[in-house]
Structure 1
Amino acid sequence: MLVVGCKKNEFIPYYQPIMSLDDKLQGVEVLVRWKLSDGSLLLPAYFIEVAEQMEVINEITITLVKKVQADFRRYSSNYNRKVFCAFNLTAQQIENKSFINLLILTLKKEKNFVPSFEITERQHFNNLALAKANIRRLQEQGYQVKLDDAGTGYGGFSYFMDFNLDGVKIDKMFIDVIGVDDVKVEVLNSIIMMAKRLGIDIVAEGVETQQQVDFLRKHNIDYIQGYYYSKPVPFKDLNFDN
């Protein structure tokens, strides 16, 4: 089904806004959806792991990048400033030199948005040296690379030492403790403090309440993402006027 889905061009991008502390749209995270023949949408949790195992994840990602480029071209009249556009990459993709070459080539002449990348900490890197070299190549192209799901996976904060990353995305599990558990919120405070000392961007995802927004504003993080502002939507439903 995955192979057929690729051939039938069934994988499409949805976009979740990433906002500054003053509620201005600064960027979007690109999230893949599988649009089946009956019009229903499958979330990535149902197919991404299998896509990686079958090695069709690279084809899906490049297809997604091209559709994002087409969306920004098609709706260019909807916005008057460039925003960053964050694509998710797996550990397997980061370690694939040929894929990184193709990704850079695909985005080389992009003028309508600023590409950036998020790598998840929930997957294990087999070749740190190769991953480091490929991340550096992306950064040399002017693309930011951020750590997704920080504090939840294999690498711990050693990834900051290994990869010289540009930012960190704080996982929803840490945001959920705001106003609920004063002890666990100290872990969140530690992540924020560490990122600030490293001088890197901080994105909080999974934000759903005013209390969480107030806490994050008080701690002066850089960006906020979550249902408080918007669920993932098709490009035409993004509001660039914020």
Structure 2
Amino acid sequence: MIIDVNLSEFKDSDSRYYLGVIRDVTEKREMEEKLHQAAMFDALTGLRTRLSLSLELDKVSHTELKNGFILTAMLDVDDFQTLNTVLGFKVCDELLKTIASKLRHIQNTYSHKAYRVSADRFVVLGFSTDKDEAFQDKEILLDELEQLTVDMYRAHAFTVSITCVGYVTTLSEQEDNTLTQQLELSLKSARSQGKKGQVARASQLDNNVGLQIASLKLDLASNIDENTLYIVLQPKVNKLNKISSFEALLRWQDTRYPKLNLGHYIAAAEETGAIIQVGYFVIEQTCAFLADLHPAYRKRIFINLSIRQLFDANFTSFLASICAKHNIDHQYLGFELTESMVADDIVLVSKQLQKICDLGFEIAIDDFGTGQSNLRYIHKLPISQLKIDKSFIDDITDTTVSAPLVDSVYQIAKAMNLTVVAEGVEKLEQVDYLRKLGVEEIQGFYFYKPMPVEQCKELILENSHYSRN
């Protein structure tokens, strides 16, 4: 029995009195303990709950382990809702109990803690002050979990599979995300990479890049945030060093993904299909920029085109409508495709490009010399420009390899009536060589770096005859 004693003191002029109240609080304490147990331990499996995990991480953050290493793993039963429907709740409950039993064995053997954080999802957590020890423990833990996934797969006639992820991190790397949120993103990333039913092992201490990529893909799959996107423009100059055209370049800035760069964003957009909407955004912004200029000051702007955009059924109609919306003549827009894109299917690509050319837009082949195509195929494409890749320009004056290649490309391109553009030009010696060769347009830091649209507008309006001597 548990009793609660409350003692009160009373005084008068001559005496002192005490009043004691004794209560039996056994039932109350038992109820509180039951509520505590229900909150901290899962009723079905007996494992700790998600709340218990949060409290554990908070507690550790105030101990000497706060600067140590977290060994963590999450496992999830694949297609659990389907299993519930097919096998029934009773069978699936037994399945979860079996998993929990194996996790308790791991917990007792290696002094880790196991948690059930949702219906079919479990977390194993361990701590270490030594980095090497943490990584060794991670491999041991994942070996155990891998055996668990195999055992469960075989025990249930190959109808049950479990995906597991595990890595080592630190409390300081959690940033705004909780550990469980990061693990869940890692699970989704593993499955998207075809690792369903497997154990995915992170090889680096800092797994935030992979997790942020997974999170970014989820965002892009639903919608693109145009507030994180903007364009910059890089001028190209002609033989008189006057601005002849521009290239529009996408920029991305999102504070939610501090470890990712534009390359990560483009790759994620390509994979999710969001690149089509991103491409529409760039075209819209480019047309808006041109619309702000007096027609007398407008120059052609080239925009990078992805293969998904090229084969988008609505692409040509979008181009026509956006130009009409901003009252932009089609001659002021051009599109660049990389050589490797063209090489994939020269016949099909050529047909799609012809549709764009028929509307009055120009086409350029970008990064020429780095892909798999060659001039024998290029003549089949409805293009007007070849852009020689920066890698050949870098050492054009220093080696006997790049110079003859650039010379040959220029001569053949001229025979095909194509304009040659040299990109990535950064030195006066490169400019001199290209000018002597006869290259019509040069793009690179020697003349201009990519600049914000407002700065570009000022450059055009304030000095439309600007040249660098």
Q: Fold conserved (TM > 0.5)?
A: yes
CA contact (8 A) 1:5 1:11 kept: no
Match of 1:66, as an amino acid? Answer: E
Go from structure 1 to structure 2 and tell me whether the alpha carbon gap of 1:84 and 1:185 turns closer, same or farther (over 3 Å shift).
same
Aligned residue in 1 for 2:352: 134
Which ranges in structure 2 are unaligned for 5 or more consecutive residues?
1-215
Q: Which residue of 2 aligns with 1:83?
A: 299
Which residue of the partner structure matches residue 94 of structure 1? 310
Q: Secondary structure at the match of 1:154?
A: coil
Contact in 1 for aligned 2:302/2:333 (Cα 8 Å)? yes
1:210 counterpart (404, 428, 439): 428
Instruction: Give the counterpart of 1:54 among 250, 255, 272.
Output: 272
Return the offset for 1:43: 5.2
The code of the aligned residue for 1:101 comes to: S
Q: Which amino acid aligns with 1:151?
A: G
Output the CA distance in 1 between the equivalents of 2:305 and 2:343.
12
Q: 1:113 to 1:82 in 2, by over 3 A?
A: farther
Query: More helix per residue: 1 or 2?
Result: 2
| SS of equivalent to 2:380 | helix
Residue 180 of structure 1 aligns with which residue?
A: 398
The counterpart of 1:230, out of the listed 413, 433, 448, is 448
Q: Distance in 2 between matches of 1:50 and 1:68?
A: 23
1:25-71 Cα distance to aligned partner (Å, 9 max, x none): 11110100012248x8x753232122111100010011111112222
| Structure 2 SS opposite 1:122 | helix
Contact 1:95 1:130 in 2 (8 A): no
- Aligned CA RMSD, in angstroms, stands at 2.6
Identity %: 26
CA distance in 2, matches of 1:165, 1:73: 25
- Aligned equivalent of 2:227: 9
Following superposition, the deviation at residue 235 of structure 1 comes to: 1.0
Q: TM-score scaled by structure 2?
A: 0.47
Q: What's 1:27 paired with?
A: 245
Contact 1:166 / 1:200 at 8 angstroms: preserved in 2?
A: yes
Report which of the two structures shows the higher radius of gyration computed on alpha carbons.
Answer: 2
Q: Using the TM superposition, give the Cα deviation of residue 176 of structure 1 relative to its aligned residue in structure 2, in angstroms.
A: 1.0
The secondary structure found in structure 2 opposite 1:110 is coil
Q: Distance in 2 between matches of 1:216 and 1:234?
A: 27
Structure 2 residue matching 1:163: 3-state secondary structure: coil
Give how far 1:140 is off.
1.3
Letter in 1 for 2:323: L
Unaligned runs of 5+ in 1: none
Q: Give the structure 2 partner of residue 146 of structure 1.
A: 364
Look up the SS of the partner of 1:9 in the other structure: helix
Partner residue, 1:197: 415
The aligned runs of 1:30-41 (5 Å cut-off) are: 30-37=248-255
**DSSP-derived class of the 1:62 partner:** helix
**Which range moved further: 145-154 or 100-109?**
100-109
Question: d(CA) in 2 for partners of 1:125 and 1:71?
Answer: 32
Please say if residues 167 and 200 of structure 1, whose CA atoms lie closer than 8 Å, have aligned partners that are also in contact.
Answer: yes
Q: Distance in 2 between matches of 1:207 and 1:81?
A: 25
Whether the 8 Å CA contact 2:339–2:367 is kept in 1: the answer is yes
- 2:378 — aligned with what? 160
How many residue pairs get matched?
A: 240
Alpha-carbon separation, structure 2, partners of 1:170 and 1:7: 33
**Distance change >3 Å, CA 45–CA 158, structure 1 → 2:** farther
SS in 2 for 1:145: strand
Going from structure 1 to structure 2, the CA distance change for 1:158 and 1:5 (only over 3 Å counts) comes to: farther
Name the residue aligned to 1:104: 320
Deviation at 1:229, TM superposition (A): 0.9
Shift of residue 8 of structure 1?
A: 4.3
Of structures 1 and 2, the one with the larger relative CO (CA 8 A, separation 6+) is 1
Matched with 2:291 is 73
Moved over 4 A (4+): 124-127
Q: For 2:390 and 2:262, how far apart are their aligned partners in 1?
A: 17
Please say if residues 335 and 361 of structure 2, whose CA atoms lie closer than 8 Å, have aligned partners that are also in contact. Answer: yes
Whole-angstrom distance in 2 between the partners of 1:10 and 1:113: 29
Range 128-137 or range 25-34, more displaced: 128-137
Q: 1:121: which partner in 2?
A: 339
